[in-house]
Amino acid sequence: MHLLGILLTVMSLAPATPASYDEPRGPLSGRVVTIDPGHQLGNRNFPRRVNALVPDGRGGRKACNTTGTATDGGYPEATFTWQTARALRARLERLGATVRMTRQVNSDHRWGPCVDARGRAGNRADADVFVSIHADGNLAPGARGFHVAYVPGRGDLGLARVTRDALSRRVPVSTYIGGGTGLSARTDLATLNFSRVPTVLVELGNMRDRQDAHRMTTPGGRSAYAAALAAAVRRYLTS
């Protein structure tokens, strides 16, 4: 066989070189989001540490953390925030974001971190957005729905409004805070005060209200909260 024929035969038998493609990039690729699941399940077991005073971010001091609230059926706020935060993290990672959490477990044997450390977590991660997840424990009759807390005059109002709008498409707005706006300007929350990145603290509902409690204790309800928060982060970072 001629040399050219041999070369052509060898080339025809060689496996094709796969085409080179760029890795798919989600709309939040390159973005960093810090999620703060409020409280810790074991806070109640470490009262001295949880009640120790830490800076509040405005010249005073306050308790390191609290035990959080619970539904009338005993479902803890710490567990709700943890499960919702994990659902949110999964959604954001599918969109391409890098997600940092202020705590890595939900355990009866752990406590903290303190509110000042939580507030600084987004700064340390050089985050684009910081979302702190909580639930309320208001005992007033008819008190239900979410509200979004932010520090006024610091540039967080835009994120607060986007978050409010996304949540209001899926869950009820607070009947007892914010006058129906779903927004609450706060200067007393250390987690917000210590953050230097766009930050909101969301009280996703009132755990002492039967309707809100049902939503919080079901996977579908927590998925609705996570979907709304993911939509808010996406809109804020891509608009």
* Predicted local distance difference test score (pLDDT) of residue 23: 57
Q: Which CATH architecture has domain 28-238?
A: 3-Layer(aba) Sandwich (3.40)
Spatial neighbors of 160 by CB under 8 A, at least 6 apart, are 148, 149, 150, 183, 200
Sites in the chain below the pLDDT cut of 70: 1-24
pLDDT at residue 30, rounded to an integer: 97
pLDDT at 157: 97
Residues acting as catalytic residues: 203
Task: Report domain extents, the chain.
Answer: 28-238
Looking at residue 155, its pLDDT comes to 92
pLDDT at 117: 98
State residue 25's pLDDT score: 81
Q: What is the DSSP string of 154-174?
A: TT-HHHHHHHHHHHHTTSPBP
Q: Give me the helix-helix angle, 219-238 and 157-168, nearest 10°.
A: 140
In sequence order, what are the residues at sequence separation of 6 or more whose Cβ sits closer than 8 angstroms to the Cβ of residue 72? 208, 210, 213
Residue-by-residue DSSP string for 132-152? EEEEE---STT--SBEEEE-T
What pTM was computed for the model? 0.90
List pLDDT tens digits, range 72-125: 999 999 999 999 999 999 999 999 999 999 999 999 999 999 999 999 999 999
Alpha helices in 25-124 (DSSP H): 47-51, 77-94, 115-124
